[in-house]
Structure formats: structure tokens, C-alpha cells
Amino acid sequence: MSNDAGKRNQEPLVVRTARELSAAIADRLARAASAGGTAALGLVPTMGALHSGHESLVATARAQNDVLVVSVFVNELQFNDAADFERYPRTLDADVRILARAGADIVFAPEPGEIYPDGRPLVKLDSGALGAKFEGASRPGHFDGMLAVVAKLLHLAMPPASCPVPVRYSAYFGQKDAQQLVLINRLVKDLNYPVEICSVPIIRTSEGLALSSRNQFLTPEQAEAALVIFRAMTMVKVRADRHEPLFLEDAVALFEEEPLVELDYFELVDPNTLQELAFNCQETPFAGEGLLLVAAKVGQVRLIDNTPLGY
Ligand code: AMP
């Protein structure tokens, strides 16, 4: 990576088509390559309506790459609810302003027809048993649709073979969407994508609510009630840190005191496979590593969160 990475303050180039994206990446990489050695290309896929969680991903990617591409695309295939897709916030102008400050080089903001020119793809990716659990159980088809777009974006932003120096290619995803991250790691492994997947920790409000583009649909009262998610996870984490029995049911009981919050799942799983851990229902002291996965509905808004235990 050349020395001037992370110091750009220019407006990003906004491109709408795959062809423009390839040309822009080739051009920027050629410039980075002129410094010699190797070049580093980073991709941050998003659905826009950017907040500090996205900005953290972009800042991490900016610091590690010569050329930084951020995609903004609301992927209909991963919405199982048409109303949720329609009301998903679309704020491209504001997003581009944020990305200019964050130092993105290229913003890829395609129209749906650019990504899916024949409508829904005939050939599909299957997220398997893992894609049917947790979020997949409540949102059938969500992860297959997510994999469809991520596979395309990873492919469309791939460094061109013509680049005069070797290119390190990385893509950045938030730990907030833990199940998505595990599936993307499997996508890359199972299909031999030449890209390194990098994960970035969850960004929260000062009170503990994980940032999400959907939080703007919460009333102040609902946002306050939603803090029970963080309280419940913290209760378990404190016990895990002390190597005590976790008694997850105590944390689950907190949700009963919040009528505005409807708990969907509260599960302790293996962080790499998302297999449920036996600790879940035992009274034995916690040891090892785990990931606590939570999903709850507050009004119309579905919130997901997670916290690692034993790290
Ligand atoms: P989205 O626009 O919701 O598809 O999210 C784009 C990327 O930002 C995904 O990799 C998310 O995991 C990540 N992300 C969303 N919210 C947060 C957050 N609060 N902290 C860190 N990363 C996040």
C-alpha cells in the first residue's frame, strides 16, 4: 500500500454501472500502482442511509487500502416483506456527503436493473441450513438474497487482471450482522473468491443501542424500551467474564418487563458456526468462547444485536 492512503479529501466519483465501476477501479489502481510495490483495494457494501456504524467500516477500510469503493444498493432480493423494502430509507445525496468526508474514492450506486438486468436471477445461491436459522427463520429467503448481491458486488469490484502490480483485495462487513458475516465467509471459502473478508465491531449509541438504518423508525419511547437488549446481553456478559453460570433465562425475563419489545430469540452459539452451545441451558460455569445472538421486534422494527462472550 502506498504512503498517501487515508489522506484523501476529494469528492468520491459516483458511478452507476458495472462498466463505469470497473473503469474507475482500474484507473485508481493504476495510479496507486505508480508508487510501486503492491496496491490494496477495499470494498464496503452497504444499503445506504449511512450512520456511524457504516462510517466505522469505511474508516477501517480507508486506513487499510489505497483505493476504497463503497457500494450503496438497497437489494430487493433480501427483503421478504415488500412494505419493508418500500419504506427502507434511501438518502444517496446525504450518503455521498458522508462518504466524501470519510474519504471514499468511488461510490457505486447502481439502479436495480444494473444488478438484476433479467429481474430475479435464474441461478441462485443457497444459504443452506445456516441460512434457515435465527434471522433466516423469521425472514425466509433473506440470506439467499443477501448472498446473491454480495457475490455480485465482490465480483464487480474485483481488481482487473491488467493491474501492473499485485493487488490485495479486501471487503468489510459489520459484526452487527453476525449471521451474515459467517455466511459471507462461507461464500468466499466455498466459491474460492480471491478476497479477504474483514469484520468491524458493532457501533452503539452511548446508551448501548446498536446503530441501524431502521432505528430512525423508532419513537423515542420505543428506542428507550429497546435498550433492554443491551441490558440483557450485558447481564450475561458480566457472568461470562466472571466464569459464572449464565442462567440465560434471567436475561430473557428482562424482556417480559418491556411490553413494547417482543423478543424473537436470545441464543448462545459458537461464534464460527453459529451452532447452539450446550451452556445455554446448563448451570455449569461459563468457559471458552461464545456469541450471544438476539433479535426482537419493537413496533414494526426488527432489531438484531449480538455480543461475544469469553474474549
Ligand atoms: P447495511 O447498510 O445495513 O446493509 O449495512 C452495511 C454494513 O454495515 C454491514 O456490513 C453491516 O454489518 C454494517 N453495520 C450496520 N450497522 C452497524 C453497526 N451499528 N456497527 C458496525 N457495523 C454496522
How does pLDDT run across 96-129, given as a tens digit for each residue?
Answer: 999 999 999 999 999 999 999 999 999 999 999 9
Q: Is the pLDDT of residue 6 over 90?
A: no
39-84 pLDDT, tens digit each: 999 999 999 999 999 999 999 999 999 999 999 999 999 999 999 9
249-277 pLDDT, tens digit each: 999 999 999 999 999 999 999 999 999 99
Calpha distance 150→102 (Å, rounded): 22
Calpha distance 42→8 (Å, rounded): 15
Helix (H, G, I), strand (E, B) or coil at 121: coil
Q: Is the pLDDT of residue 8 over 60?
A: no
Q: What is the pLDDT of residue 179?
A: 98
Q: What is the band of 155 on the pLDDT scale with cuts at 50, 70, 90?
A: very high
Please give the distance, rounded to the nearest whole angstrom, from the Cα atom of residue 55 to the centre of ligand 1: 9
Q: Is the pLDDT of residue 309 over 50?
A: yes
Do 170 and 159 form a contact (C-beta atoms < 8 A)? Answer: no
Please give the distance, rounded to the nearest whole angstrom, from the Cα atom of residue 34 to the centre of ligand 1: 33
Helix runs in 245-288, H state only: 248-256
Q: What is the pLDDT of residue 249?
A: 93
Q: Which helix (H) or strand (E) holds 252?
A: helix 248-256
- Best of 46, 51, 204 to mutate for ligand 1, by most ligand atoms within 8 A of CB? 46
* Percentage of the chain exceeding pLDDT 90: 88
Q: Enumerate residues 6+ apart whose C-beta is below 8 A from 84.
A: none
Q: What is the pLDDT of residue 286?
A: 85
Only one residue has cell 441460512, namely 131
Q: What is the band of 7 on the pLDDT scale with cuts at 50, 70, 90?
A: very low
Calpha distance 68→45 (Å, rounded): 11
The mean per-residue pLDDT over the stretch 221-241 comes to 97
Q: What is the pLDDT of residue 282?
A: 67
Q: Is the CB of 59 under 6 A from ligand 1?
A: no
- How far the first Cα of the chain sits from its last, in Å, is 31
Beta strands 13-15 and 106-108, pairing class: parallel
Calpha distance 192→176 (Å, rounded): 24
Beta strands 67-72 and 290-298, pairing class: unpaired
Q: What is the pLDDT of residue 288?
A: 86
Beta strands 290-298 and 261-269, pairing class: antiparallel
Q: What is the pLDDT of residue 36?
A: 78
